[in-house]
Amino acid sequence: MIVDCNPEFGIELALALPYAYWLHEQGELEKVVTSHGMQPFYYFCDFVEEKYDHRTIDNEAAGLNSLPNNWIYGNIHNAKLYKDEWEHWEQFMCEKQGCGILNYEKWKMPDYSSHYKNDRFVFEKPFVVVSNRFNWEHGGPPVGYFDPNCLIFLFRYLTEKGYIVIYKRPRNTEFPVDQNEYHTLMSNTQPIFQYNKDGQEIKFSDYDIANDFEDVILLDELVSKNTDLTYNELQLNLFANASSFVAISGGSTLLLNLFQKPTITYLYNGSDLRRNFWEGGARGITGKGPKNIKNYYYMMNPNLIPFIDKDCQEMRDHKYDRFFKLIEDSIK
């Protein structure tokens, strides 16, 4: 069998990669055709062709229909597949647009932590990766990202607890982009913040904030110092040695999920929450009711620690108490 597709990055990790690994374990994987830079994710395959120089959010054009699971949100009837092992399966057949439950019969995650663990990326202290993003989404400007006050808290709290922080926020020049990332690049959308001090307007970026902390290292710095590694080779080797992760939801979080370590995920997308990501009966946003244990996020990483902020409203309103409490409770 040949696995051939170029969807959004996170979708490839959740749908194509586990299928390829399942085929590999069955002795049926012939070749993987993927986007530039993705070969390290398919370390188990002898024949990987990095064919595509772009990705697409059009699932059909991306080749997803050739996979057992062709949509990230799954099919409501998939819940019935797990009726013998999951007493709440019926409550997750209420969502007409899918509930994030895949068919896992031909789906298995490789063990990236064991494969990529190394002695190269070892620091004098344990390290936590903080993964941010700043992209256009569904035709609109950025909504889901860690703002300056949130970043300052994260950097201060984690470094005071004795951790080094690796800060990642891609510029979208490191990999083949999809339409949203392309729009971000072409519109020159950058996370530039500002405040007034003594009548002067001061502008700064998230990178500036990171550079103000002695024990915060930009991922870009490590990339520039390890030129023998590709961007993805460095990420996989680095993240395999991390203690834990803090991330905004999306493809960057799905990458971190590959390592199955404690991963605090800031979930904000209303449509994603509607598909029963976490707890709350049929709608998954109230924090009450059974957990959707067959959601692909949990199946990729059972050590996931979700935080729900619908439409990122609390972040936009600068209300951080709930999120900061979760950080303090989860990372000691």
Of 21-35, 81-95, 122-136, the one with minimum mean pLDDT is: 81-95
Level-2 CATH architecture, domain 114-268+309-330: 3-Layer(aba) Sandwich (3.40)
The closest of 280, 243, 281 to 259, measured between CA atoms, is 243
| Tens-place pLDDT, residues 142-157 | 888 999 999 999 999 9
Three-class secondary structure assignment of 271-321:
HHHHCCCCECCCCCCCCCCCECCCEHHHHHCCCEEEEECHHHHHHHCCCCH
Contact 267, 249 (CB under 8 A): yes
Outline which parts of the chain fall under CATH 3.40.50. 114-268+309-330
Per-residue pLDDT, 288? 55
Residue listed under structure tokens 């390890």: 226
Report the predicted TM-score, pTM, of the whole model to 2 decimal places. 0.91
One-letter amino acid identity for 194? Q
Per-residue pLDDT, 204? 82
| Tens-place pLDDT, residues 57-108 | 899 999 999 999 999 888 888 999 999 999 888 888 876 667 789 999 999 9
Both structure tokens of 171: 């510029």
Task: Say what the alpha-carbon torsion angle 218, 223, 224, 230 is, to the nearest 10 degrees.
Answer: -170
Task: Say what the alpha-carbon torsion angle 137, 314, 99, 62 is, to the nearest 10 degrees.
Answer: 20
Q: What is the DSSP string of 109-132?
A: ---HHHHH--SSS--SS-EEEEE-
Element (H, E) at 133: none
| 74: DSSP letter | B
Average pLDDT, the chain: 88
